[in-house]
């Protein structure tokens, strides 16, 4: 039995030292020390020994077990350390490798322009109001003093959503004037930015969807001078203090008098060139004093109050501002183009 025990010890020690993993080591432990293990099997035979032999063999058996357990512990520690080292090596981070750069985006030039216009007016105390893109013809045209026969109502210009031409994709942000005036009494000072839609073919200066910013001021004693002041402020903010501004008579059904506002051509400085088609000036927006009929329709007393309104195309502003010659560039989402701004 003594040789048997000795054999077991030697085999176990050798096996533990050669174990390649903790799992393998555990298998070996069960094989030797487990309930059905080799050592356990031998110890079960102890009962058969004589009274003299038993303490002697017992001591050998105990020493044997202690050695095996110690060897097991050592092998385990060694394997765990090796595993940890391997993991540390595998997971090592090289802090000197250059990182992957995060591409930083920025606002689209149209958003940039719209934000700047909005900031100019909020700084002057205007409130920003949002409104529906699907609108009633009543608000887009009728209440804005636009006769039933007006060409702007034409099916070929306007996306109607119903046969009866009562509902449409708004062709301008001007209906927001009516919506605001119907809901409150002066003083009113608002801008309303948003999308508008017209049946235009896509080309260098047209798109069936574009952006406008509407403005409206109504109070006692508002004059054309206030209109000129507010719009000049906006234009100088966008194009610089030196820019020359021109107010040119025009017609809109909902303003009287009406005007269009031009800036001196950025390309030729007013001499006349291809960009301004020889005019020396570039048209920016429509504007005017709110027509007394419109005030009255919206429940505001035209004898007490007056106001001015304007509507500016944001694509046009953006193109003038950044000298972009083709509107399509603004919608193509080509990064090579957009990155320039
Ligand atoms: N709605 C006009 C357009 O789309 C622009 C405009 C002109 C707006 C005169 C106004 C205004 O508020 O008073 O061309």
Average pLDDT for residues 220-247, to the nearest whole number? 95
**Average pLDDT of every residue of the chain:** 92
Confirm if 186 and 218 have CB atoms less than 8 A apart: yes
Where helices occur in the chain by DSSP H, the ranges are 2-18, 22-33, 38-44, 53-90, 109-123, 137-140, 175-183, 224-239, 292-297, 314-322, 335-338
- Ligand 1 in reach of 121 Cβ (< 6 A): no
Write the CA distances from 107 to 110, 113, 183, 209, 340, integer angstroms. Answer: 8, 10, 33, 19, 11
pLDDT digits (tens, 9 = 90+) for 163-222: 889 999 999 999 999 999 999 999 999 999 999 999 999 988 899 999 999 999 999 999
Select from 205, 252, 288, 317 the residue to mutate for testing ligand 1; criterion: most ligand atoms less than 8 Å from CB.
252
pLDDT in tens, 55-92: 888 888 888 888 888 888 888 888 889 889 988 888 88
pTM of the model: 0.72
H or E segment to which residue 135 belongs? strand 134-136
Structure tokens at 269: 């400085």
- Give, using CA atoms, the residue closest to atom 10 of ligand 1: 310
Q: How far is the CA of 315 from the centre of ligand 1 (A)?
A: 15
Percent of the chain having pLDDT more than 90? 56
Q: What is the DSSP string of 237-251?
A: HHH-TT--EEEEEEE
């Amino acid at each position: 039995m003594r040789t048997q025990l000795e054999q077991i010890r030697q085999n176990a020690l050798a096996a533990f030292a050669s174990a390649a993993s903790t799992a393998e080591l555990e298998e070996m432990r069960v094989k030797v020390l487990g309930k059905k293990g080799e050592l356990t099997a031998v110890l079960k035979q102890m009962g058969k020994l004589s009274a003299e032999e038993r303490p002697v063999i017992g001591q050998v058996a105990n020493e044997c077990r202690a050695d095996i357990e110690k060897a097991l512990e050592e092998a385990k520690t060694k394997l765990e350390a090796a595993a940890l080292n391997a993991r540390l090596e595998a997971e090592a981070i090289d802090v000197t490798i250059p990182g992957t750069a995060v591409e930083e985006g920025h606002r689209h030039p149209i958003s940039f322009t719209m934000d700047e216009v909005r900031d100019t007016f909020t700084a002057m105390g205007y409130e920003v109001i949002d409104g529906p893109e699907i609108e009633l013809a009543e608000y887009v045209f009728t209440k804005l003093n636009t006769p039933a026969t007006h060409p702007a109502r034409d099916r070929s210009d306007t996306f109607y959503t119903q046969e009866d031409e009562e509902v449409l994709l708004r062709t301008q942000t001007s209906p927001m004037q009516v919506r605001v005036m119907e809901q409150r009494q002066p003083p009113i000072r608002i801008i309303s930015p948003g999308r508008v839609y017209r049946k235009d073919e896509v080309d260098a200066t047209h798109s069936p969807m574009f952006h406008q910013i509407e403005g409206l001021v109504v109070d006692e004693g508002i004059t054309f001078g206030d209109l000129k002041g507010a719009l000049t402020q906006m234009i100088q903010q966008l194009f610089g203090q030196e820019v020359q501004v021109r107010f040119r008579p025009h017609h809109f059904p909902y303003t009287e008098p009406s005007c269009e506002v031009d800036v001196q051509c950025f390309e030729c400085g007013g001499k006349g060139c291809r960009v301004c088609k020889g005019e020396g000036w570039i048209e920016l927006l429509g504007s005017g004093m709110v027509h007394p009929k419109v005030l009255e329709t919206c429940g505001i007393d035209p004898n007490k109050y007056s106001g001015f309104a304007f509507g500016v195309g944001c694509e046009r502003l953006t193109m003038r501002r950044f000298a972009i010659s083709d509107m399509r560039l603004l919608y193509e989402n080509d990064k090579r183009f957009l990155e320039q701004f």
